[in-house]
Amino acid sequence: MTTRAADTIWRQPARLVKNPTSFAGSFPYGGTELGATRGAEVEFFGADVPIPAEEWNGAPSETLEGADWCMAFALLRSYDNDAIAAIHRNTSTGSSSGKKVAAGSAAGTVRAGHVGSDRALKLLIVPENTTEHEAIYIPLAKPIIVGGSRVAWTIGRERAVEVSFLSLPDATGRFYVMGRLPDLTV
């Protein structure tokens, strides 16, 4: 194993890009940056199902493999209009400030029972150093609220907005693609 330079260590800030069009250009790759992030995290899931063997008292003898999918999480460091519009179901533009206003409402345009994939977007989670670190592209990412999303005001640290995205299969069956940016395709 070769000794690696310090800039290859996995300690990189990540940026979120909504609807990138090409990975060949420069940031934001034809898309829209979703505000400054404090951090981003992706949790991968697989659906391996063990097959028990009766003759071995139920010990697994085989597995069936299912789809690999993921969820992405991030902390936004600012109230970014593009991010708020992408994350919250019902938004409007403030008449005085021009900033997005998010409304939790049963009477909004997006109501309970609405098909969620209609609001899905293409999401790129990209490090600042794209030559030494991997990016993750979710071709169909649905913004969701997991358990509860918090906005905190405190003197001890900067304010942050939690965001979550669920990967859905795109038309080609991809849930996500992870690798060096030049190796990925939109």
For residue 116, the domain's CATH number is: 2.30.110
Whole-number Cα distances in Å, 80 to 15, 88, 109: 13, 12, 21
119 located within any domain? yes
At 125-143, the pLDDT tens digits run: 998 888 888 899 999 999 8
Range of the domain at 140: 6-183
Chain segment 55-91, per-residue pLDDT in tens: 989 899 998 888 889 999 888 887 777 888 787 777 7
Q: How many CA atoms lie within 13 A of 152 on its CB side?
A: 13
Residue 1 lies in a domain: no
Task: State the Cα–Cα distance between residues 83 and 41, nearest whole angstrom.
Answer: 17
Residue 89 in any domain: the answer is yes
Q: What is the pTM of this model?
A: 0.80
| pLDDT higher than 70, residue 1 | no
Residues 5 and 172: their CA atoms lie apart, in Å, by 37
Among 17-31, 35-49, 108-122, top mean pLDDT goes to 17-31
Phi and psi angles of residue 125, each rounded to the nearest 5 degrees, phi first: -105, 110
Cα 23 to its chain centre, rounded Å, is 17
- Please give the tally of structural domains in the chain: 1
